[in-house]
Amino acid sequence: MPKVFLSPYISVLLESGHVGGCAKSFEPLHFALKEREWPYDYGDDPSFFCRRKLNNALTWGVCRADVRNQVQPGDVVVFFAFTNLGEQVEYRLSAIATVERKIRQSDVFCNPSYRDYTQYLNLLVRPLDGVGKEWQHYEPGSPEKDWHGDWLSRIVPFRFFSKPELERQAKIHRVSTDSYIDGKQFRFGSNYVLFSQHKDQTFVISDPPKVAHAVPPRAEVWNSDRLSGEIYGQTVKKAQPDGVQRTLRLDNKVQQPHSPPIRWEISEHELHSWRETFFELLLTHGLKRC
């Protein structure tokens, strides 16, 4: 049975001011964040910025490896942007996206079908040769000082290699298909997620509405307006039919306040009906696609 996942991602508030030239790959994204253009992720993962600028599919390939490894084609991910505003955290509904397929990050560079995604910012490696054997740690979506130390664990099969050995190899910032980690030959995992571009399967909101707020470490409180209430009814409330209360934010969680994700199973027929109802709800409230 397919599943629905509720996945918050952080959208930071960058200070306004002078922005340098756009020679660096992440500068246009950071300029958009400074201009409050849309609640993008700092490193564009999920890739709402590149999807919008390059007119291609939404992808997910860096953050939330625990969820990326779980989702399967046909599953739906509901993305909520959350932003720290001093003492308070603000939540917005950004998108409802249906998983179309999952590929390896190496496929982006080695399979001509995915060539367009080499321009995306939510990548963790780039090839050092023309045959896909040697790979280098590289994150085009953010300055090097903000790159992920655990980059290697984010592109391999989930829990296939031991964490200490992955950390040891990651410090080199390079890996080869001839490398052995924990006695096993290195391989990429199929955990780079591509979402459907069909309008009946994915809805990215042009102006994401504010739906909830939280005062850490307490859980979020949903806004009292009608739209927020109906979105709550289609998301968090749907995940608690057994009466157990669930929240986007987990109490007493400061560093990783949104793991594990809220998720629930749903039949194919129910999923189609739920998604159609959700999309109609958004359109009825005047929300548009982007």
CA distance 178 to 226: 56
Q: Which of 23-32, 168-177, 219-228, 239-248 has the lowest mean pLDDT?
A: 239-248
pLDDT bracket for residue 223 (50, 70, 90): very high
CA distance 25 to 120: 9
pLDDT bracket for residue 255 (50, 70, 90): low
Residue with tokens 């959700």: 278
The mean per-residue pLDDT over the stretch 25-48 comes to: 96
- Show me where the domains of the chain are located: 3-103+193-284, 106-190
31-42, pLDDT tens digit by residue? Answer: 999 999 999 999
CA distance 30 to 15: 10
Q: What are phi and psi of 88, to 5 degrees?
A: -125, 155
The fraction of the chain above a pLDDT of 70, given in percent, is: 95
| CA-based nearest residue to 248, from 277, 278, 218, 276 | 218
Residue 21: the pLDDT is 47
| CA-based nearest residue to 155, from 273, 268, 274, 68 | 68
Residue 253: the pLDDT is 73
pLDDT bracket for residue 24 (50, 70, 90): confident
pTM of the predicted protein model: 0.95
The mean per-residue pLDDT over the stretch 8-14 comes to: 94
pLDDT bracket for residue 18 (50, 70, 90): very low
Residues in Cβ contact with 99 at an 8 Å cutoff, skipping those fewer than 6 apart: 71, 72, 73, 74, 75, 76, 77, 193, 194, 195, 196
> 88-103 and 192-195: which strand pairing?
antiparallel
CA distance 226 to 214: 19
CA distance 169 to 156: 12
Sign of CA dihedral 244, 248, 253, 255: positive
138-187, pLDDT tens digit by residue? Answer: 999 999 999 999 999 999 999 999 999 999 999 999 999 999 998 999 99
